[in-house]
Chains A and B, each alone.
Chain A
């Protein structure tokens, strides 16, 4: 019997969660939003998702093979997640080569160039979206109404309308469909495929909370900050008259706060660090929405905060037990 005995360092029991399991759980949690995207904008959304995911996985396989590392890691769920999130960040009418180019960039440049899973500084899906935004701004800002609205093509998102109105442009005379809170919550509005149906996103987020895959620190801090700042400064009747609910239901805030800002690799390690991260994202989102040329600021604020994470981690390293 002695010859068969295994000698190893402990612990000799381990928790059952795995990296793969976590990645696929997040993909699973995004399914409701995907179904909503197809239901609201049509079958093209599904094509965009499938093309994006396939390209992401193929790109990762190719790069891993080129790097002569473990190719099976392409199926660990992280490339699929990146592809899916990239598709969710596209407008519904975008030509189908857009997700191809975006996914290649997201995986090859946004992730693999840094060393692959665990080493990237920026959220790959957002890096892909930013690249597309800068290279093809017209495609990336041509919106559609939900399928059931008679004028199905060419409209603007609620935030874009607001931005136009604030500049005194044609938006002032534009008559959009009325956006009640229910419309914003259920997705009866223009926007990106995966961001419009806040209800579906919340279902997915609830699943992630229950499985303890995400915690409240980033999303709640992020959303509360946007809500508070919008209430204080975005109103027409002076200080503290802003419509906070409107601003947290519009744009990609729900998608960004629950699914992209919470990405493990690109967010801080500690609870304190995460709160700072959420705060920073919130402030930047508000600033970009109010003062910049863009109507929407979620993707850029998360990318900017991603770059601050090593600094945040350094200064929020836990003060360990017994340290004076």
Chain B
């Protein structure tokens, strides 16, 4: 049993996870129509390989990756391609998408159990992952085959499974660990094999005891199977943003990713639970990434739940399937309440990036007036990157962007802990985003 580990800073919001943490993941909802954007990942959009009128089967390729940092896109239901047209998306604004109408045919992709998958060589495993269109399901949606191919001069010795899930309300990763620990462990083995990593950690926050238990059982079986590989379930102190890559590495290994750097700079690769599960499905069941678990919650939901969502399901259809609203929502957030992105319409498809959808009614929405900074220093205490948000805020206000850069604003990853804790209700995150965006154009 390892001692509780943590990083500097952080905040402790109420978790609101009890609404969905105790319920098992609902079976996949097969919608009558899906809108599958060709850009759901970080990188270049995929190119459509189907046209209007084509018949597609669930799991067939509809968009081919364009370039190295790009991802394949597959049909998530069987049916006919209605049109290739622009659609709203939760994050990227309007994107060219494949609109598919179901034709009642068999909706399950052909899944063939590959029992000998464990013996596949690295290159084959990487190719399977690339073909399956797997991207990071923690939110950034970075193409996984690229992430698992670090340059030769950055050897990887540690693979970390990120089971922290620090955002309030979200429980999709937690439920996956409780219900499918075996599959996750197998997926993790594949990742470790591809990277030749000697150490494997499973990082879980201490507010998820059932998940910790389930993964601990898996880790002892894993240890028995793989000689020479060190595997450990590490319990991390619950606080936001423990789930950020850099904070997981800091808490686990007490190493800091250098400024403007990446985890590979300290020999680590961090993977989200959902991503690793998708890797298992791709390698062992030959199933491409066409569905993922999403937490649909918030005070407006009649029945908040975790549900397996087919990529491209319209949010409106999903809400109807789950029993609709008990209160009219005034805020729709895709993601968690800290870093989530508010939507201007409910007519958006749920893409690979979406791990949670929250609906808030009018009474839960705060409209705080910005007051003057009283230099209390709470933001400095809260910032996980040890920046001084109030100092940066003042620089950005005076448009001293270069000074803000010299004080580290580029390393802010916009977690929002500073704005959360500020008693003067200063919209610190707005200032951080503005300053960082401005720096991208100025220098």
Contact = CB atoms under 8 A, between A and B. Distances in A.
Contact of B380 (A13, A267, A269, A323): A269
Given A2-B345, A12-B333, A270-B380, A323 B408 contact: yes
Contacts of A14: 366, 368, 419-420, 422, 425
A119 to B, nearest CB: 8
A21 B423 contact: yes
A267 B364 CA distance: 35
B365 interface: yes
Contacts of A313: 391
Interface in A1-39: 1-2, 4-15, 17-19, 21-22
Nearest to A313: B391
A19 B259 contact: no
Contacts of A7: 342-344
Interface string B308-334: 000000000000000000001111110
B79 interface: no
B407 to A, nearest CB: 7
Contacts of B8: 321
Contacts of B139: none
B376 A11 contact: no
B408 A320 contact: yes
A189 to B, nearest CB: 34
Interface stretch (B222-230, B273-281, B427-435): B427-435
A116 interface: yes
A319 interface: yes
A18 B399 CA distance: 27
B11 A270 contact: no
Contacts of A8: 331, 342
A68 interface: no
B342 A5 contact: yes
B66 interface: no
A22 B339 CA distance: 27
A270 to B, nearest CB: 6
Given A12-B331, A14-B425, A317 B391 contact: yes
B385 A321 contact: yes
B423 A320 contact: no
Contacts of A270: 377, 380, 388
A67 to B, nearest CB: 13
Interface residues of A, number: 39
Contacts, number: 156
Interface string B370-394: 0111111100110011111011000
Contacts of A1: 328-329, 346
B385 A10 contact: no
A15 B420 CA distance: 6
Contacts of A118: 372-375
B294 interface: no
Contact of B340 (A12, A119, A264, A322): A12
Which of A18, A116, A269, A322 has most B Cβ within 10 Å? A322
A318 B387 contact: yes
Interface in B232-279: 246, 250, 256-261
A134 to B, nearest CB: 27
Contact of A322 (B257, B346, B420): B257
A324 B259 CA distance: 8
Contacts of B285: none
Contacts of A10: 337-342, 416, 419, 429
Nearest to A314: B391
Interface of A: 1-2, 4-15, 17-19, 21-22, 116-119, 264-265, 267-271, 313, 317-324
Given A15-B11, A267-B375, A322-B260, 16 more contacts: A4-B328, A8-B331, A10-B342, A12-B360, A15-B420, A117-B372, A118-B375, A269-B390, A317-B388, A320-B385, A321-B256, A321-B257, A321-B384, A322-B256, A322-B261, A323-B258
26 contacts: A1-B329, A9-B427, A10-B416, A10-B429, A11-B337, A11-B339, A12-B338, A12-B358, A13-B168, A14-B419, A15-B421, A18-B423, A19-B371, A118-B374, A118-B375, A269-B375, A270-B377, A317-B388, A320-B408, A321-B246, A321-B384, A321-B386, A322-B260, A322-B385, A323-B259, A324-B259
Give 8 nearest A-B pairs by CB, closest first.
Answer: A11-B416, A118-B372, A321-B385, A322-B259, A320-B408, A269-B377, A12-B337, A17-B423
